[in-house]
Amino acid sequence: MRFDIFTLFPGIFESPLRESMLKRSIESGLLEVQLHNIRDYAEGRHQVTDDYPYGGGGGMVMKPEPVFAAVEAVLGVETTTPIVLLTPQGRVFNQQVAFELAQHDRVALICGRYEGFDERIREHLATDEISIGDYVLTGGELAALVVVDAVIRLRPGVLGDPTGAIDDSHAGGLLEYPHYTRPPEFRGWGVPEVLLSGDHARVDRWRREQALRRTWLRRPDLLERAELTEAEQAWLRQLTQEWTRKISE
């Protein structure tokens, strides 16, 4: 999968792409990241990429010409590649959106800086707008890295364990069950007996119950869209009733 990233600060991407999974994905050809410096596409001796906002006020706004020129030079004018603007005003990134992007073989990401983009970039160039959460960053580069990281681990072959992404938190709408590794006892704290039992069916049941219980406790909002069996729904209703009874006692 190829990402074309348009940025004023390509250096930000260097070390994250040189470590661990992203590095390995690049080396094995599963991931390609092309960084394009928007400044290279700015005209004039000073290659200006930002300007004062019309109407006054503080901060600088990213000019439309260099961003359009960069994207059109790399992708062509007619393209089916999604052109994603990173902006705190976009749809909020989640596992579902990551799955959606992972279906494409090529995605373009445009990183803003300063006060953001001239509105015409949003209106006439971008085909999608993504926010990584309800807070404001100084630039879109870290957001782009979040998107690349979350999307690439969903592509076949990227994770060492091909089933790794299936149980992940948010994949099936639930938070993941707790993990334990050796030693079996650490500072007097043990490991749930079922995990040492070697009984795979019991382990699976325990994990599913833990995932449900965790999601119910921490993120009940996720349960509304989770894929649950009738029995699981009944069990959660029972948990809720017990809980309501307990707090009203």
Q: Reduced to 3 states, what is the DSSP secondary structure of residue 162? A: coil
Rounded CA-CA distance 104/88 in Å is 23
- Residue list 140-169, contact with ligand SAH (CB under 6 A): 140, 143
Q: Reduced to 3 states, what is the DSSP secondary structure of residue 85? A: strand
Let me know if 82 is a catalytic residue.
no
Is 136 a binder of ligand SAH (CB under 6 A)? yes
Among 21, 137, 159, 239, binds ligand SAH (CB under 6 A): 137
Let me know if 209 is a catalytic residue.
no
Total number of residues that touch ligand SAH (CB under 6 A): 19
From the list 128, 149, 168, 176, the catalytic residue is: 168
Let me know if 202 is a catalytic residue.
no
Among 13, 70, 101, 112, binds ligand SAH (CB under 6 A): 112
Nearer to ligand SAH, 132 or 228 (CB): 132
The alpha-carbon radius of gyration of the chain (Å, integer) is: 23
Question: Which residue is nearest to ligand SAH, using beta carbons?
Answer: 112
Is 82 a binder of ligand SAH (CB under 6 A)? no
Distance between first and last Cα of the chain: 56
Among 21, 139, 213, 223, binds ligand SAH (CB under 6 A): 139
Is 111 a binder of ligand SAH (CB under 6 A)? yes
Q: Reduced to 3 states, what is the DSSP secondary structure of residue 102? A: helix
Nearer to ligand SAH, 69 or 142 (CB): 142
User: What is the β-pairing status of strands 128-131 and 83-92?
Assistant: parallel
Is 113 a binder of ligand SAH (CB under 6 A)? yes
User: What is the β-pairing status of strands 128-131 and 106-110?
Assistant: unpaired
Let me know if 134 is a catalytic residue.
no
Q: Which helix (H) or strand (E) holds 76?
A: none
Is 7 a binder of ligand SAH (CB under 6 A)? no
Rounded CA-CA distance 141/137 in Å is 9
**b/e string for 117-139 if b means 16 or more Cβ within 10 A?**
bbeebbeebbebbbbbeeeebeb
Give the residue numbers annotated as catalytic, written as ranges. 88, 115, 153, 168
Which residues of the chain form contacts with ligand SAH (CB under 6 A)?
86-89, 111-113, 115-117, 131-133, 135-137, 139-140, 143
